[in-house]
Amino acid sequence: MTLIKLENVTKVYTTGEVPVTALKGINLEIGNRAFISFIGPSGSGKTTLLNLMGVLDKPTEGNLVVNGINISLLDRAEAATFRANILGFVFQNFNLIPVLTVYENVEYPLLLVKHTTAQERRDRILRLLEQVGMIDQKNKYPNQISGGQKQRVAVARALVTNPQVVLADEPTANLDHATAFKVIAIMHEMQKEFGTTFIFSTHDPKIVGEAEIIYTLEDGVLVNQETKNRN
Amino acid sequence: MRNLIKIAVRNLFRYKRRTLLTSSLIAFGVILVIVFGGLAISFKTQMVGILTNTALGDLQVHKKDYVESVDNLPLNLTLSGNKLAEVEQTLKQSPYVAAYSPRIKFGAMISNYAQTSNIRLSAVYPEMENKTCPGLVNRIEKNIPNPDQFIRPGEVIVPDNLMKGLGLKIGDEIVLVATNKDGSVNGIPLHIGAVIESVLGPAGKDGFIHIDDAKTLLRMNEPEIVEIAVHLKKFDQLNTAFNELKKGMVAPQSGIEVHTWEQLSPFASIARIVDLLILVVKFILISIVLVSILNIMTMSVYERISEIGTIAAIGTRPGRILSMFLMEGFAMGLLSTAVGIVIGLGLLWLMNLAPIDFTFGMMRVSLAPSIPAREVVLITIIVMLVSIFASLQPAYKASKMEPVDALGHV
């Protein structure tokens, strides 16, 4: 089943008087339970593509359908609700809320989604923190943990609402290699455990080994698709 | 909601020094309003209390046009007979009136047989006058065993400046000479019963005699009352009582007027200036809160653009982001107000331990500052509303940020 569908998607930014085309006519379909990586050098359009799929931005041309909804038709508030219910995000700079503890950071998105009791929230948060190995750090604030730990918390936060897709833009860019591999491994475990589609971007070809499908972007154009058979 | 409050409060304490400085500034404004308001309200209340409880009463009833010609103390604009009975009946039946005192006010000459001066006299029934102006006996420089009989027939109470001027002492005989409404001059001998300090300062020459002596002096068959001073059960019902009495008495053609103390005393202007000063201090507070909160919230938004992008990206609706920043400004206002109120009330309490005494005109004033609870509530509401108003623009800006732009902000 197709979860994300891009039809001839183009994105043009206008910086000053100069229009910059970040994506050119992208056609792509992503299904359920996938573990996908976009690679390419800086400026190739990875972040723009993830922003579009994450309903953080809208395409200049073409259609982008996520979970059956054409995102161009959503207003700001609807887009926010859509993100809260369907998507999870992992950012390059971790982007944890500094005034909240590890536990509270993971709890935050759950409070935006209705129909969860306090007990359900607690059980789900503790289980996720256990799975990403951060249960012992749950009462610490972001400035009291390492970069790798922050990213693990970010993964738990992205998964806590049980989203259909987690989008991770350069999640390992600020981590050393060993930690980067661990984070990707955790993401892959979570994908298997929860059946969530993970889409991550990187400019580091060494860490894409875990990905099932690897798309290569160059100058806003999809130039290659590599599918690995894990069976 | 609880989460919003938690984030707002924690964000405030993220930059402790800045929050402390801004809070101190707002708290200072609140302290200023409370202390200044407490002192000013206390001063005004004391002064109004002295005027109404020792001289004017809370309200006065006169014959129409009397107040306009009060400087001449006319004796032809009086209430007597059925008209007086009607007015007294209305006052007795009013649920607002605690007591009233009919007075005959007139000008006279006072002579010690060697020297003569002029005096303004209030002829009263001492029992009714004491109930209407209970503070009057405190101005009399003599131990009064029964305040309801502070003046007896055959006696006159003379202001201290006249006593000194005429070289009089208590018990001396003097002669009062007055012209009645028909132009007939009469004089009666009286004894100095007591000395009274003037509430109006050195220029005041107000004395008291018993109303029976006034009838004799002015050759009246029945009391012809010039003014009726009214004491209310509750002073804060002044306007309601005024309107009710006016409705009951001041029918067209009735020839009766009712005045509040404010319409009769020049101190009402000073009281209004005091109110104006309190208002000015409140405006200063509003300015302090507005500038402080606007400044800190604007800085807060600019410093946290990336964070705003994050919370927007993970699904926080724009309205919730707006609420989050409004809550932060509100929490800052609330915190500062609470601190300001505690310190302000503490300072007022300390001032009450050592009351401030001074003389205003000839009135001895002892300031025991206090601030009504409604003023404290009003200050709190003002600060809260201004805090929210000041946070509105930065909060709106935060809520309008596109997540993709905010996330990319460095």
Residues of A in contact with B310 (CB under 8 A): 91, 95, 97
Interface test with A, best of B11, B15, B311, B314 (most A CBs within 10 A): B314
- Shortest CA gap A206–chain B (Å): 25
Strand runs labelled E in B77-201: 97-111, 116-124, 155-159, 173-179, 185-196
Residues of A in contact with B403 (CB under 8 A): 56
pLDDT of residue A117: 85
Q: What is the pLDDT of residues A212-225, one digit of tens each?
A: 899 999 999 999 88
Beta carbons of B394 and B332 less than 8 angstroms apart: no
Look up tokens 């938004």; give the residue: B301
Beta carbons of A193 and A114 less than 8 angstroms apart: no
pTM summary value: 0.73
Strand runs labelled E in B219-262: 227-232, 256-260
Beta carbons of B299 and B391 less than 8 angstroms apart: no
In 3-state terms, what secondary structure has residue A173?
A: coil
Name the more confident of A187 and B376. Answer: B376
Candidates A80, A97, A111; nearest CB to B312: A80
Q: What is the pLDDT of residues B315-363, one digit of tens each?
A: 888 998 999 899 999 999 999 999 999 999 999 999 888 877 777 655 6
Distance CA B79, CA B56 (A): 18
Beta carbons of A83 and B313 less than 8 angstroms apart: yes
Determine whether A24 is exposed, middle or buried from the number of CB atoms within 10 Å of its CB (0-12, 13-18, 19+). Answer: middle
Beta carbons of A136 and A152 less than 8 angstroms apart: no
pLDDT of residue B267: 83
Residues of B in contact with A45 (CB under 8 A): none
Q: Cβ of A91 and B317 within 8 Å?
A: no
Torsional sign, CA A184, A188, A189, A194: positive
Distance CA A105, CA A103 (A): 6
Residues of A in contact with B404 (CB under 8 A): 51, 56-57
Strand runs labelled E in B129-170: 155-159
Candidates B309, B315, B402; nearest CB to A84: B315
Q: Does B233 touch chain A (CB under 8 A)?
A: no
Q: Does B314 touch chain A (CB under 8 A)?
A: yes
Inter-CA distances, B343 with A143, B24, B116, B314, Å: 35, 11, 58, 42
Beta carbons of A6 and A27 less than 8 angstroms apart: yes
Beta carbons of B60 and B227 less than 8 angstroms apart: yes
- Shortest CA gap B263–chain A (Å): 60
Domain ranges of chain B: 2-50+269-407, 65-254
Report DSSP letters for B12-38, one per residue.
HGGGHHHHHHHHHHHHHHHHHHHHHHH
The 10 Å Cβ neighbour count of residue A14 is: 9
Q: Does B5 touch chain A (CB under 8 A)?
A: no
Q: Cβ of A81 and B315 within 8 Å?
A: yes
Q: Cβ of A89 and B314 within 8 Å?
A: yes
CA B140 to chain centre: 24
What average pLDDT values come out for chain B (410 residues) when binned by 10 residues? Answer: 77 86 92 91 86 90 88 88 90 93 94 92 95 89 84 93 90 94 92 82 77 94 93 92 82 81 86 90 89 90 89 89 91 93 94 79 73 92 92 93 81
pLDDT of residue B9: 82
Name the nearest CA neighbour of A27 among A68, A63, A72. A63
Q: Cβ of B7 and A97 within 8 Å?
A: yes
Q: Cβ of A100 and B10 within 8 Å?
A: yes
